Amino acid sequence: MRLIQGALAYTTLSLLSNIPMKRTLQFGLPIALAILAVGFYQAMYVAPTDAAQGDIFRLIYYHVPSNIMGLIFPYVNFVASIVFLATRRSNPMRAQAADAVALASAEVTLVFVSIGLATGILWAKPIWGIWWTWDPRLTSVLVLWLIYVSYLLLRRFTAGGQTETLAAVLSVFAAVDVPIVYMSIRWWRTQHPAPVFFGGPNSGFDRLMWPAMLWNLAGWFVWGVMLVVLRYKLERKRQCIEQKSALDALEAELQTSP
């Protein structure tokens, strides 16, 4: 199921790649901001105050969507990395496009996971009385965050032709961690609250809280896809400039050599 979702996202991105960057921003930004504005209004003024936690509960309308996006985009990264590994010798042009998708989705994942961790920490202090605990959910999310930090550091600071291949292999570890993050609050019932989605008969929300959650989920999804498409286009442009300067250098070398 996750693989299908990732493949769908990859196909969508491939189709969107023909749209100019300016057009992506002109369409994507107003749509995302409009949905997020409705989501904000629902979260602040329409959703009822939680009886046990009070207003701090409203933080969940940003915390849960950010974490869900932090579990979807790693699979875009994973599928793109697999496509890169499979085609890097047979079809280098496709491999480069897949690598650009992998990089874009890795960066967007890191943004969402960082927000998920930060908002979780800000919720934990008033509710649990502590900023952090080594609960399985918190620990597995931290591992995911560290994997993507390593992924981006690897890409930024290593030289040589194997960087993209090593990064693609690292993304497989992230794809292994994602189901552990998802299942951690189902396998081990410790400090973290029970799941909101697909958590069994006693899970979920009051029905008046659902619109706030769903509007924010939709808004952050559109926002995330927009960011991935924009970053993908930027990376493709960088690849083109790099190739052009390499070709220019080769041409100059050929002209000067006797």
Under the binding rule (CB under 8 A), the answer on residue 19 touching other proteins is no
Q: What is the closest distance, in whole angstroms, from the C-beta atom of residue 60 to other proteins in the complex?
A: 10
**Closest CB to other proteins among 123 and 182?**
123
Q: Which residues are paired to 50 by β-bridges?
A: 54
**Window 165 to 224, contacts with other proteins (CB under 8 A):** 223
| The only residue of 7, 16, 19, 21 in contact with other proteins, by rule CB under 8 A | 21
Find the distance separating the first CA and the last CA of the chain, reported in whole Å.
60
**Closest CB to other proteins among 22 and 89?**
22
Under the binding rule (CB under 8 A), the answer on residue 62 touching other proteins is yes
Please state, in angstroms and rounded to a whole number, the distance separating the CA atoms of residues 70 and 174.
11
Instruction: Report CA 71 to chain centroid distance, whole Å.
Output: 7
Instruction: Look up residue 43 and give its DSSP letter.
Output: I
Under the binding rule (CB under 8 A), the answer on residue 231 touching other proteins is yes
Place of tokens 């029970």: 194
Instruction: Look up residue 132 and give its DSSP letter.
Output: -
Q: What is the closest distance, in whole angstroms, from the C-beta atom of residue 86 to other proteins in the complex?
A: 28
Beta strands in the chain (DSSP E): none
Under the binding rule (CB under 8 A), the answer on residue 20 touching other proteins is no
Task: Give the chain's radius of gyration (CA, Å).
Answer: 21
Element (H, E) at 157: helix 136-157
Residue 160 backbone dihedrals phi, psi, to 5 degrees: 110, 170
Under the binding rule (CB under 8 A), the answer on residue 153 touching other proteins is no
Residues 66, 220: contact at Cβ < 8 Å?
A: yes
| Residues 100-129 as x/- pattern, contact with other proteins by CB under 8 A | -------xx--x--xx--xx--xx-xx---
Instruction: Report CA 213 to chain centroid distance, whole Å.
Output: 18
**Closest CB to other proteins among 82 and 137?**
137
Q: What is the closest distance, in whole angstroms, from the C-beta atom of residue 32 to other proteins in the complex?
A: 10
| The only residue of 11, 238, 245, 249 in contact with other proteins, by rule CB under 8 A | 238
Under the binding rule (CB under 8 A), the answer on residue 63 touching other proteins is yes
Residues 218, 111: contact at Cβ < 8 Å?
A: no
Binding footprint of other proteins on the chain (CB under 8 A) = 21, 25, 54-56, 58-59, 62-63, 66, 107-108, 111, 114-115, 118-119, 122-123, 125-126, 223, 227, 230-231, 233-234, 237-238, 241
